[in-house]
């Protein structure tokens, strides 16, 4: 029973890391889709960013549950190779669940929503990103069965995983090289003059936007984005809030 619980927590953590990877790469870095890109009536960009943020909150919750469970079990010692197998299994399992459930069954989004052949992109992502972790897990599992000895690690390994997870979140907040522009999304109900007044007060230089959706692209000095939250901003790219959904915009 104890080993079964350990496996569940490790797979859950790997599953959450797979979700983080997808969210950071596909929603933020590559900007190929949002969580609800293909859902009719899901709302404007403001709503899409909100749902992306809620998705990341869910991944944070799953990661914390997995880490907490591993920490408790880690006090009794654990096999590092077994842990690696389970993390890889969870990571690959997320890719399968995402493509099969969210892409094909529910139709929330596809890997590329702007391509005429979305199935090829789905299959390509599944095999390129989901396949290698599952293959690596199978190879490590076979090697573990062949060698047999336990490699005790305990809490230090779980702490390293926690630091790696926090580091991935920190990396996602970093400004891309040469990027001058920041995306600002204001809450509903603000007029265009009110939004412009808030941007001017923060020292932002407006490059463009969609006032009807409350979305603006601006050049903004580091550290000034926080001021916009006091004047009705719902999201300021690069500010760190909302957590897990702070992508910079491609030019």
Residue 95 contacts residue 127 (beta carbons within 8 Å): no
Comparison of pLDDT for 30 and 133, the residue scoring more: 133
Alpha carbon distance, N-terminus to C-terminus of the chain: 52
Q: What is the predicted pLDDT for the residue at 152?
A: 45
Question: 124-167: per-residue pLDDT in tens?
Answer: 999 999 999 999 988 888 876 666 544 444 455 555 656 666 66
Alpha carbon separation from 99 to 9, 22, 91, 105, 249 (Å, rounded): 23, 11, 13, 9, 25
The residue among 231 and 171 whose pLDDT is bigger is 231
CA atoms of 27 and 21, how far apart (whole Å) = 10
| Tens digit of each residue's pLDDT (9 = 90 or more) over 177-215 | 556 677 888 888 888 889 998 888 888 888 888 888 888
Phi, psi of 186 (to 5 degrees): -95, 155
3-state secondary structure of 236: strand
Residue with token string 């869910």: 58
80 phi and psi angles, rounded to 5 deg: -60, -35
pTM metric for this prediction: 0.64
Asked whether 103 and 36 are in contact (CB, 8 A), the reply is no
pLDDT above 60: residue 238: yes
DSSP readout, 19-71? HHHHIIIIIIIS----TTTTSTT--SHHHHHHHHHHHHHHHHHHHHHHHHHHH
- On whether the CB atoms of residues 184 and 219 are closer than 8 A, the answer is no
Per-residue pLDDT band for 14 (boundaries 50, 70, 90) equals very high
pLDDT at site 69: 87
- Residues 232 and 28: their CA atoms lie apart, in Å, by 23
Neighbours of 177 (CB within 10 A): 5
Q: What is the model's pLDDT at position 242?
A: 53
Domain boundaries, the chain: 2-172, 181-236
């Amino acid at each position: 029973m104890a080993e079964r619980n350990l496996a569940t927590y490790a797979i859950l953590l790997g599953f959450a890391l797979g979700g983080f990877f997808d969210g950071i790469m596909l929603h933020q870095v590559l900007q190929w889709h949002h969580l609800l890109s293909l859902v009719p009536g899901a709302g404007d960009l403001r709503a899409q960013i909100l749902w992306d943020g809620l998705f990341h909150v869910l991944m944070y919750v799953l990661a914390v549950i997995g880490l907490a469970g591993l920490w408790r079990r880690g006090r009794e010692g654990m096999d590092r190779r077994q842990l690696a197998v389970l993390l890889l299994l969870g990571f690959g399992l997320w890719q399968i669940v995402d493509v099969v459930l969210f892409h094909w069954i529910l139709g929330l989004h596809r890997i590329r929503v702007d391509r005429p052949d979305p199935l090829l992109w789905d299959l390509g992502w599944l095999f390129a990103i989901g396949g290698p972790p599952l293959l690596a897990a199978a190879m490590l599992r076979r090697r573990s069965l062949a060698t047999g000895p336990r490699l005790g690690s305990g809490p230090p390994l779980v702490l390293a995983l926690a630091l790696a997870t926090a580091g991935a979140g920190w990396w996602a907040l970093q400004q891309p090289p040469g990027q001058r522009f920041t995306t600002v999304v204001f809450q509903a109900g603000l007029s265009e003059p009110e939004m412009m007044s808030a941007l001017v007060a923060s020292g932002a230089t407006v490059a463009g936007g969609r006032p009807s959706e409350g979305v603006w692209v601006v050049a903004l000095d580091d550290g000034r984005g926080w001021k916009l939250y006091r004047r009705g901003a719902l999201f300021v790219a690069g500010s760190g809030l909302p957590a897990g959904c702070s992508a910079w915009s491609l030019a």
